[in-house]
Amino acid sequence: MADWVNDDQYSLLDLLDRRLSADPDGSFLDLCGTPYSAAELDREAERVAIGLAELGVGRGSTVATILENGPEAVVVWFAIHRLGAISVPVNTALKGALLRHQLHDASSSVVVVHAELMERPLAVLDSLDDVRHLVVVDENGRALPEAPGVAVHAWDDLLKASGSRSPTLVRPSDLGTIVYTGGTTGPSKGCALSHQYHLSIARQIIDSWGRTPEDVVWSPLPLFHFNAISCLLTGTLLSGGRAALSRRFSVSGFWPEINRTGATIASMLGSLAVLVAKAGDHPGARNSGTADANTTLRLVTGAPMPPEIDALFRSRFGVTTFSNAYGTTEASLISWLPAGNPGKPGSAGLVNSDAFIVDIFDDDDRSVPVGTEGEIVCRPRKPHAMFEGYWKRPEATVQAWRNLWFHTGDIGRIDADGYLYFVDRKADYMRRRGENISSWEIEKVFHEHPAVRDVCVHAVASAVSEDDVKVTVVLKEPDEGERPTEEDLCRWSIDQLPYYAVPRYFEFRDALPLSATGRSAKHVLRAEGVTEATWDREAAGIAFERR
């Protein structure tokens, strides 16, 4: 077995202090058009930390945030860590039962939310005993809402907080962030991530990208995903240089944002890279989109990126790509290749033996022969190089770590040269446009419709990348309730689900296929995919707001 490695350990506050010592007033972050130096960010974060402390936030507290990308999301993230508290960035698309679950599970007494999203937590507060304070971010200065049993505060009041507080000692092993990841046979679970884990992933990304202090990293990825936290915030603190954050992704806005920020690296998802590459040139770009174009961009990152899209970026825009990587929220990066190295076609890069011991197991946790498919498992080789467990779920943590190996739930193989190949997901979750989707949670929502008797949610192949979502429904008999059409059920689901989880495909059947044990045979439905009886939301022209 490989030796245990004693790596340098730092907290996020250590990294911020190092930046403050080295370059307090230089350009640090461009947050949706608002520039910040490290000193400016630190001053605002300290004021907000004082304000949060007055609301009872302290070491070990959890603070939930429902915020779109912007200065407030970054300032409060640093403020939370200054108190030794734990940040819980919630996906801004969540509503109803899914939002209630995460807020309840996190046990946060304080929730910070943008005014445009305020109605969502307000709608579930009556069933959340832990929430005591709601902080509303509103650029328009509207009147604060009333929430029975909950004190409502304006973000600006936190920014105006004065006074002083004793510094909090934060260790690298302390929890810094809880990121919820899609459940498979149950509700989504919170991955408890230490300060050192933030640092560990940032180091790997810096190495794989060849990032230097001269680089400017731009990203439209949301800060409720660990990708953006690692690449933009932790990565920039660790590597030096600058980073720029966009409110959200826009195909037409891609090149104008690259030009405005002077970005040298664009950090995206593979699905977004596909859209940019296929769109070609844009009027707002200062370059012509050819290999000799005048652009600062040198690297586009996004995994997985189809080989033809990889080639388009190289030939059309003259930039290098980084697309060979595999990891999970619990453990990253399990495999990768340096930017510009194409590796072997179809692989997710070489096993990251510096940080992990990686193997492929069968269903009885026996190591399989080289090149044989099985479940991807791993162990860390460094302290806090992986998650600390699932928040308040010791049984789920032990199950994931059975036989002292972390089981990813993904199927893959490793060849004789150490290349890892991702084959399929062993568990019943999906991934659409960068979002993990729990089929269990979506099915639970559809079961709440009065006309639905049974339901099965599963993935079908997407033409863009990753998955599209299909729901197969068995309706009740007519005398048991009004029978909706596929469009009726689709429009109902738009109000119940996050935008990214609204199924594209709907199909009504008299019964679901069953396994020998009487359970829904999802593998049968997945194999059938889109049939002649399937109704397509996109073909029907059903549009809705991204939120």
Phi/psi of residue 214, nearest 5 degrees: -85, -10
Mention every residue, 6+ apart, whose C-beta is less than 8 A from residue 8: none
User: What pLDDT does 291 receive?
Assistant: 36
Q: What residues does each domain of the chain span?
A: 12-192, 196-324, 335-425, 429-536
Phi/psi of residue 33, nearest 5 degrees: 100, -10
Which of 381, 461, 368, 467 has the alpha carbon at shortest distance from 412?
Answer: 368
Phi/psi of residue 24, nearest 5 degrees: -70, -35
Mention every residue, 6+ apart, whose C-beta is less than 8 A from residue 407: 361, 375, 377, 400, 401
Q: What angle do CA 491, 115, 93 make, to 5 degrees?
A: 40
Sequence-distant contacts of 510-514: CB under 8 A, at least 24 apart: 510/474, 511/454, 511/474, 512/454, 512/456, 512/472, 512/474
User: What pLDDT does 283 receive?
Assistant: 42
Per-residue tokens: 4: 């245990």
Phi/psi of residue 436, nearest 5 degrees: -75, 135
Pairwise CA distance, residues 64 & 92, whole Å: 11
CATH of 12-192, one of 3.30.499.10, 1.10.238.10, 3.30.470.20, 3.40.50.12780: 3.40.50.12780
**DSSP calls for 72-130:** HHHHHHHHHHHTT-EEEEPPTT--HHHHHHHHHHHT-SEEEEEGGGTHHHHHHGGG-SS
- Class of 196-324 per CATH? alpha beta
Residue 295 · residue 265 · CB < 8 Å: no
User: What pLDDT does 139 receive?
Assistant: 81
Which of 248, 392, 408, 412 has the alpha carbon at shortest distance from 346?
Answer: 412
Mention every residue, 6+ apart, whose C-beta is less than 8 A from residue 185: 427, 428, 440
Per-residue tokens: 96: 């109803």
Three-state secondary structure call for residue 381: coil
pTM above 0.85, yes or no: no
Q: ω into residue 167 within 30 of 0, thus cis?
A: no
Q: Can you point out the beta strands (E) in 212-297?
A: 216-219, 242-245, 265-267
394 membership: H or E segment, kind and range: helix 394-400
How many Å separate Cα 385 from the centre of its chain?
18
Give me the residues paired with residue 407 across strands: 377
User: What pLDDT does 270 receive?
Assistant: 81
Angstrom CA distances, 494 to 95, 226, 487, 488, 534, stand at: 11, 26, 11, 10, 18
Using only C-alpha atoms, the chain has a radius of gyration, in whole angstroms, of 23
**DSSP calls for 165-212:** -PPPP--TTSEEEEEEE--SSSS-EEEEEEHHHHHHHHHHHHHHHT--
Pairwise CA distance, residues 295 & 318, whole Å: 9
473 membership: H or E segment, kind and range: strand 467-475
Q: Which fold would CATH assign to domain 335-425?
A: Luciferase; domain 3 (2.30.38)
CATH of 429-536, one of 3.30.1490.20, 3.40.1180.10, 3.30.300.30, 3.90.640.10: 3.30.300.30
The yes-or-no answer to whether 12-192 and 335-425 have a common fold is no
Which of 87, 91, 85, 80 has the alpha carbon at shortest distance from 44?
Answer: 80
Three-state secondary structure call for residue 213: coil
User: What pLDDT does 454 receive?
Assistant: 86
User: What pLDDT does 290 receive?
Assistant: 39
Residue 461 · residue 510 · CB < 8 Å: no
Q: What is the edge-to-edge ordering of all strands in the sheet holding 420-425?
A: 356-361, 374-380, 406-414, 420-425
User: What pLDDT does 220 receive?
Assistant: 95
Q: What is the pLDDT along the chain (547 residues), one digit of tens a residue?
A: 458 888 889 999 999 999 999 999 999 999 999 999 999 999 999 999 999 999 999 999 999 999 999 999 999 999 999 999 999 999 998 999 889 999 999 999 999 999 999 999 999 998 899 999 999 999 887 889 888 889 999 999 999 888 888 889 999 999 999 999 865 556 889 999 999 999 999 999 999 999 999 999 999 999 999 999 999 999 999 999 999 999 999 999 999 999 999 999 999 988 788 888 878 654 434 444 433 356 899 999 987 777 778 888 888 888 999 988 999 999 999 999 998 888 888 899 999 999 999 999 998 999 999 999 899 999 999 999 999 999 999 999 999 999 999 999 888 999 999 999 987 777 666 778 778 787 777 888 998 898 998 889 988 888 776 789 999 999 988 765 578 999 999 999 999 999 999 999 999 999 888 654 455 677 788 889 999 999 999 999 998 877 6
